[in-house]
Amino acid sequence: MSDWLTPGLAHLWLPYTQMQTAPAPLPVVASHGVRLRLADGRELIDGISSWWTACHGYNHPHIRTAVEAQLAQLPHVMFAGLVHEPAARLATRLAALLPGDLERVFFTESGSVSVEVALKMALQYWRNRGQAEKKRIVYFRHGYHGDTFATMALCDPEEGMHTLFAGSMPDQIMAELPDTPELAAAFDRILATHAERIAAVIVEPLVQGAGGMHMHDPATLRHIAEACRRHEVLLIADEIMTGFGRTGHLFACEEAKVVPDIVCLSKALTGGTLPLAATVARHHVFDAFLSADPAAALMHGPTYMANPLACATAHASLDLFEREPRLHQVAAIEAQLRAELEPCRAIPGVAALRVKGAIGAVELSGAIDLDALRRRFPELGVWIRPFGRIVYLMPPFVIGSDDLARLTAAVRQVLAERATTLK
């Protein structure tokens, strides 16, 4: 290990990390099922699915076989002027799975970029229709949509990662989630007042992820969709985290019976094996780009767009949703999370407990030593990485009840230990 770890750390720049003070990262050498094997031989049960991607666990043989086959045939080719079968079939398949007429798929490589493309689509949609003044975006407190500049402008301004860039980003409109009658009325007033300038509303349906794992019910999402329709504003659903079963439906929008104008997908799209994202638009959005004028086209094209290897991996992941009982597994995880995390409510220093699908989040109060929490969980044989005030679990859907019980027990133990240090 020393032949690569120590020299490598002298050159690596890690994400979301103060490199001078943060604990040393754990060296991983292999993965299988729901476990990560470290260089020293220890195994950790992964409680967060590698940032919410590894829904089928690691090294699933069906996905591995698909990658090997595609690698031997066509690893990559540019997607301008050329097209290939894995992307064409995947676009067709996604269109069939998504609700309503979400049928035009633009592939990218990351969730942040898929949101950037959605914003570009929304602004140009109105420009192509002769309403170029509609160029503001409404987003919600506690929202998170990515780390690129346009997406940072849509994150909660009090959320710590992006406050340094305040004033450097486009000025958008933040609203409160309309989950009470008063907040619903306030949201409606925002749209009524600014509709002539608003291109779109963007929302993480049912669960706001990195902004704090805040959850809302389907009725709130329906209210947002209905208000957008009344005021002629596009609705963008950021399903990067919620998509592909995490909330209990294949897509969170389905539970609310909402069809957004544009949806963003990534993370579990390939089962956590290769980077791929998609921005999918309804036919009326796509139709606004059809013109004899070349300037009306969508001018965007990532180099690795629609990478054949990633598309083949996504096909294999979707196969597993068809062949294996993933949504039933999510329902079982939800029931176990509710039962086994419930005792956390009585632990001093716990402010709230939230569970939805295969997501369990414990919100903390008081002083929080994130580095100490992050060091403690691996000592108990689990990989759980709290952020902000949130200790959360988002395990692979294939996790067994015994392994899930080890995760929830670790959460209860670490929070109980923390409680003894609080004044």
Q: Catalytic pick from 156, 238, 261, 403?
A: 238
Q: Catalytic pick from 135, 179, 261, 267?
A: 267
Q: Verify whether residue 144 is a known catalytic residue.
A: yes
Q: Which of 361, 371, 369 is nearest to 395 (CA)?
A: 361
Give the start-end residues of each E strand in 357-411.
Answer: 359-364, 382-383, 390-393
Q: Catalytic pick from 16, 257, 287, 369?
A: 16
- The residue assigned the tokens 């959605």 is 118
Cβ 114 vs Cβ 240: under 8 Å: yes
Residues in CB range of 360: below 8 A, 6 or more apart? 337, 338, 341, 353, 354, 392, 393, 394, 408, 411
Cβ 142 vs Cβ 156: under 8 Å: yes
Q: Catalytic pick from 58, 139, 144, 392?
A: 144
Q: Is the dihedral of CA 260, 55, 318, 323 positive or negative?
A: negative
What is the number of helices (H) and of strands (E) in the chain?
14, 16
**What are residue 214's DSSP bridge partners?**
208
> Amino acid identity, residue 100?
G
Q: Verify whether residue 139 is a known catalytic residue.
A: no
Rounded Cα–Cα distance for residues 22 and 28 (Å): 18
Active site residues: 16, 144, 238, 267
